[in-house]
């Protein structure tokens, strides 16, 4: 059985805007599933449908084997949603927030205490538990909010851009936390993100949405393999040298795709070894100053750009 099964859904808002067009996707139990897409692609609309806040116009959604519209009440108790605005009461301590949450879900007191201790310990929040939320940094607040939402033992956890605006250290702690939620709590995690690196590192499955449609769904490796060609990357010391070299290289290698980056140029290649030698010779012969030359494999970012362009 799948955790989430979306079959051919459409969503038309009352003002006539159509946000989803025949969307299909499957989320397996116990996986981290990332939804990627540019602004306006339909991510929030889909999350609103999956979290039972709004209905579809047509199509079918099953969650945990139940119908998302008919069995909305049941599903609501099996899922948790962590939005970008925290749901914690900032005047209360973390422990008080968690106790309050346990009462909302009618969790017996002894069981609630056990869950709180475990969650605080697993997510390194024990030392923060008796301070008011208002005294926490942004990163700790987000982790505390997720811990709070795990109080009800949800089967599926929705995370809307969990690391947006975080520094790299807080982001890495959050990634560890998300993996722990999957590995040690067995919770299915459905997240949206704008960071391709994050999707690449965290996801078992990625789905790319564009204009309300599913462009592709697969593992990060499957998505990267969409772009079969490797490239030869020439690196430069600064932007100006890159620009000058680009204008020459583009003309010489006009039959191939040449891409300009900030301080490097990528030339698509089918035969990397011989192209590497040929391009190296060309650069030296034409006195083009470069700082490095290497073969690079396509990244998830390359795949995302290609797929969303098409």
Give the residues lining the site for ligand ADP (CB under 6 A): 13, 15, 17, 19, 37, 39-45
Tell the smallest beta-carbon distance from residue 13 to ligand ADP (Å).
3
Residue 41 or 245 with smaller CB distance to ligand ADP: 41
- At closest approach, how far in Å is the CB of 305 from ligand ADP? 17
- What is the CA 79 to chain-centroid distance, rounded? 18
Whichever of 48 and 241 has its CB closer to ligand ADP, that residue is: 48
Q: Shortest gap between Cβ of 194 and ligand ADP (angstroms)?
A: 10
Closest to ligand ADP by CB, 145 vs 160, is 160
Residue nearer to ligand ADP on the CB measure, 192 or 264? 192
CB of residue 16 vs ligand ADP: minimum separation in angstroms? Answer: 8
Q: How far is the CB of 39 from ligand ADP (least distance, A)?
A: 4
* Cβ pair 227, 298 in contact under 8 A: yes
Cα gap 128→94, rounded to integer Å = 7
Q: How far apart are CA 62 and CA 79, in angstroms?
A: 13
Shorter beta-carbon distance to ligand ADP: residue 48 or 182: 48
SS3 label, residue 3: coil
Alpha helices in the chain (DSSP H): 43-50, 72-78, 94-104, 109-122, 138-149, 168-185, 196-202, 220-224, 239-252, 272-285, 300-309
Nearer to ligand ADP, 43 or 115 (CB): 43
- 40 or 139: CB nearest ligand ADP: 40
- In the complex, least distance from residue 43 CB atom to ligand ADP, rounded to whole angstroms: 4
Q: How would you class 91 by CB atoms within 10 Å of its CB: exposed for 0-12, middle for 13-18, buried for 19 or more?
A: exposed
**Least separation, in Å, of the C-beta of 55 and ligand ADP?**
13
Q: How far is CA 164 from CA 10, 61, 69, 185, in A?
A: 28, 28, 31, 24
d(CA 89, CA 100): 10
Give Cβ neighbours of residue 94 (< 8 Å, ≥ 6 apart).
88, 120, 125, 128, 129, 130, 131, 133, 144, 147, 148
In angstroms, give the least distance from the CB of 14 to ligand ADP. Answer: 7
Sign for the CA dihedral angle at 218, 220, 225, 227 comes to positive
> What share of residues in the chain are helix, strand, coil (percent, to 5)?
40, 25, 35
């Amino acid at each position: 059985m799948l955790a989430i099964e979306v079959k051919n859904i459409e969503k038309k808002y009352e003002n006539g805007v159509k946000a989803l067009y025949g969307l299909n996707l499957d989320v397996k139990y116990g996986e981290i599933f990332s939804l990627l897409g540019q602004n306006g692609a339909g991510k929030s609309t889909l999350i609103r449908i999956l979290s039972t806040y709004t209905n579809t116009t047509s199509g079918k959604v099953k969650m945990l084997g139940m119908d998302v519209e008919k069995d909305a009440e049941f599903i609501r108790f099996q899922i948790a949603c962590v939005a970008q605005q925290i749901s914690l009461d900032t005047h209360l301590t973390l422990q008080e927030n968690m106790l309050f949450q346990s009462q909302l879900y009618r969790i017996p007191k002894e069981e609630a205490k056990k869950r709180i201790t475990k969650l605080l310990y697993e997510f390194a929040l024990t030392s923060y538990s008796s301070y008011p939320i208002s005294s926490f940094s942004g990163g700790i607040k987000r982790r505390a909010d997720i811990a709070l939402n795990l109080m009800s033992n949800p089967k599926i956890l929705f995370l809307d851009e969990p690391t947006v605006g975080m520094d790299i250290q807080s982001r890495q702690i959050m990634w560890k936390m998300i993996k722990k939620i999957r590995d040690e709590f067995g919770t299915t995690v459905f997240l949206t993100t704008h960071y391709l690196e994050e999707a690449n590192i965290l996801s078992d499955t990625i789905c790319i949405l564009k204009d309300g449609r599913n462009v592709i769904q697969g593992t990060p490796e499957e998505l990267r393999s969409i772009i079969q060609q490797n490239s030869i990357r020439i690196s430069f010391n600064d932007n100006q040298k890159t620009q000058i070299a680009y204008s020459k290289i583009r003309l010489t290698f006009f039959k191939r795709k040449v891409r300009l980056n900030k301080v490097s140029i990528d030339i698509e290649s089918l035969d990397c070894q011989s192209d590497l030698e040929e391009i190296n010779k060309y650069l030296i012969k034409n006195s083009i100053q470069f700082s490095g030359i290497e073969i690079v494999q396509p990244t998830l970012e390359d795949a995302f750009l290609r797929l969303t362009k098409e």
